[in-house]
Amino acid sequence: MIVTAAAVLAFTAMAVAGDNAQLSEQEVMTHIREAGFPEESVNTMLCVAQHESARRPRAINVNRNGSTDYGLFQINGSVWGSRCEIDRLFDPAYNARCAKIVFDEQGLTAWVAYNKHKALCDNYFPRGR
């Protein structure tokens, strides 16, 4: 399949035009827990979601290398596309399950946001507490 620049722009426009409301911290924490993350990682992963996507399930980012990151945890389609269905990554529950695969295989350092905000994320507490 050949993907043209116009197709990518159309896909991006659809992602932006769709419902991209910010999820609450509690909603994100529910997705993290239901994906099977250890309880001691829940707050850290919430911080990752905050800094990767601003807790927006339809967030999309085209990287300098041309690859694209999708959804709540900004799952990279080029790296994880064989393990996670790209067209489902805007579903926050599915995205969290894919994030668990990333977490299990590469740990927290797989996320740029974690590496950049490590001190904050390692001590993160939801604002609602």
The owner of tokens 């996507």 is: 53
Query: Which residue in the list 25, 34, 39, 52 is annotated as catalytic?
Result: 52
Which entry of 19, 25, 69, 85 is annotated as an active-site residue? 69
Q: Three-class SS of residue 25?
A: helix
126, two tokens: 């939801």
Cα–Cα dist 18/30, whole Å: 22
Query: Structure tokens of 108?
Result: 């927290």
Is 25 catalytic? The answer is: no
Q: Is 122 a catalytic residue?
A: no
Write the single-letter amino acid at 3.
V
Catalytically active residues are 52, 69
